[in-house]
Structure 1
Amino acid sequence: MTLTTATAYVALIFLLAGAVKGVVGLGLPTVAMGLLSLRMPPAEAAAILLLPSFITNVWQLAEGPRLGSLVRRLWPTLLAIFVSTALAASVIASAKSTIASVALGGALLLYATAGLFNFHMNVSTEAERWAGPTVGIATGFITGATGTFVIPAVPYLAGLGLARDELVQALGLSFTVSTVALGLGLLWHGALQFQSISHSTFAIVPALLGMLLGGRIRRRVSPERFRRWFFVGLGLLALHLIYAAL
């Protein structure tokens, strides 16, 4: 791709990904990684999503009512996510494009399947003590290998019985930690290039505009119906990534 074409492609993707996040409260890194990886190696795609993901997730967690209590409750999970993501970033940084694309497609397909079939976890207070760090480690290694932050962190956080506003804030907190750790891991392993950073900076504005657009769409359509079609589209994208890589 030429520089102009690449810039336009990145802008459109983050406008769409931001709109998805504006409607359902998540999905920006997932959509962006999947679509960017159609035209570039997953490591480059992961580098581009860093800044828009960080900005939009900080925005999301800052709007919630109980940041302090969530940090105190979730810190073992967040610490495990941070450490394992930073360590596992060597996978996406060094893996061949084919391997990374198949891994990304597999992670997206798993997430889409869980969403379509309404998979739910119910985590008791007793189980949370060991489940939190375990989920954090698993999420971190999947993030480091694929650049996606959602499995198994999203089902786990949804299974804690948090109020809606708390859950949205907890997701923003988890995604922010994942983004920072992934960025540091990519930097550590030499996978951050100047062009990727410049595209990442440029993508902030389309992502924020997409979130504002998504907020308007949310007031006009059923969020559940939108969510269902989102998972259908994500599953098809995942299958295409796997097929194209093989």
Structure 2
Amino acid sequence: MNTLFELYQNLGITLSALVIVTFLMAGMVKGVIGLGLPTVAMGLLGLAMLPTQAAALLIIPATVTNVWQLVAGGELRALVRRLWPMQLMIFVGTGLGTWWLGMGSGPSMTRALGGALLLYVLSGLFLPPLRISAKWEPWLGPFCGVITGVISSATGVFVIPAVPYLQGLGLNRNQLVQALGMSFTTSTLALAIGLFWRGALGGGEMGASLLALIPAMLGMMFGQWLRQRISAVLFKRVFFIGMGLLALHLLIG
């Protein structure tokens, strides 16, 4: 039991409250639009703690919510056959990034996180939807997997370029939700292995991450309720604007 609360005791009341609020918000965003939990968590927690600490906290909430998203829909077998090269290369890219870059604690890594978030925001707000030809998939999928892995190993953000790529495949709504869940699950597990290898994911961090699952799940359930009552397009636009301001703060802070 001490292991569960050890990290929060070290963080203190204020930062522990920030963790709870962050995962409530991150879960809510994921419940409404189907993605964004690691992005919101890394962005907000990155304001007050080291990126490695923030990444360790999100491992269990991200894994559980992504697996939940992955198994719902009934298209898993076909998606695995289609997307396994990309998933494999996410592991390769994360391994290379962990060995080459790591997730440092200096201002350069904070700015890298801000840069990754800003790229995600700009692509979401201004780029038209991609249309990826089937003949490009055999090489473009693995390439996007490697780049996604390298970026996530340095910043804890899984969305660039995986999300625009998956959105460009012409999948139906259920397939896209499952494909995103698959990609995020792979990225989370690969990141967890990288953090463990670097000694940043031990019993204390896993216990703290387990407790962070509670507000994340509550936020996700509220987000799913909210999704039925507001425009998802409006919510997504407000989300991108807020994340853009956060990214700019990380870049210039």
Indicate conservation of the 8 Å contact 1:30/1:148, yes or no. Answer: yes
AA matched with 2:13: T
Indicate conservation of the 8 Å contact 2:56/2:206, yes or no. Answer: yes
Residues 1:133 and 2:142 are matched in the alignment: yes
Deviations 1:145-169 (A, max 9, x none): 1110000000000000000000000
Deviation at 1:4, TM superposition (A): 3.0
Equivalent position SS for 1:53? helix
* TM-score, structure 2 as length reference: 0.93
Indicate conservation of the 8 Å contact 1:21/1:27, yes or no. Answer: yes
Paired position in structure 1 for 2:22: 13
Paired position in structure 1 for 2:169: 160
Deviations 1:8-56 (A, max 9, x none): 2211100000000000110000000000000001111111111100000
AA matched with 1:115: G
Residues 1:72 and 2:45 are matched in the alignment: no
Residues 1:235 and 2:220 are matched in the alignment: no
Runs of 4+ with deviation above 6 angstroms: none
Indicate conservation of the 8 Å contact 1:7/1:199, yes or no. Answer: no
Residues 1:59 and 2:68 are matched in the alignment: yes
Paired position in structure 2 for 1:184: 193
Identity %: 54
Equivalent position SS for 2:158? coil
Deviation at 1:239, TM superposition (A): 0.4
- Counterpart Cα distance in 1 of 2:250 and 2:26: 17
Deviation at 1:132, TM superposition (A): 0.6
Deviation at 1:2, TM superposition (A): 4.2
Deviation at 1:189, TM superposition (A): 1.4
AA matched with 1:225: L
* TM-score, structure 1 as length reference: 0.95
- Counterpart Cα distance in 2 of 1:44 and 1:89: 15
Indicate conservation of the 8 Å contact 1:89/1:143, yes or no. Answer: no
- Counterpart Cα distance in 2 of 1:161 and 1:61: 18
Aligned partner of 1:3 among 9, 12, 16: 12
Indicate conservation of the 8 Å contact 1:42/1:101, yes or no. Answer: yes
The gaps in structure 1 that reach 5 residues or longer are none
Deviation at 1:97, TM superposition (A): 2.3
Aligned partner of 2:38 among 29, 34, 42: 29
Paired position in structure 1 for 2:115: 106
- Counterpart Cα distance in 2 of 1:12 and 1:193: 23
Deviation at 1:192, TM superposition (A): 1.7
Indicate conservation of the 8 Å contact 2:51/2:105, yes or no. Answer: no
Indicate conservation of the 8 Å contact 2:94/2:153, yes or no. Answer: yes
Indicate conservation of the 8 Å contact 1:119/1:155, yes or no. Answer: no
AA matched with 2:171: L
Q: Give the number of equivalent residue pairs.
A: 243
Indicate conservation of the 8 Å contact 1:103/1:146, yes or no. Answer: yes
Indicate conservation of the 8 Å contact 1:34/1:237, yes or no. Answer: yes
Residues 1:83 and 2:92 are matched in the alignment: yes
Paired position in structure 1 for 2:208: 199
Equivalent position SS for 2:169? coil
Deviation at 1:134, TM superposition (A): 0.6
Indicate conservation of the 8 Å contact 1:88/1:144, yes or no. Answer: yes
- Counterpart Cα distance in 2 of 1:203 and 1:193: 15
Indicate conservation of the 8 Å contact 2:144/2:161, yes or no. Answer: yes
Indicate conservation of the 8 Å contact 2:166/2:180, yes or no. Answer: yes
AA matched with 1:187: F
RMSD: 1.3
Deviations 1:77-126 (A, max 9, x none): 00000121133134343x24211100000000000011111432211110
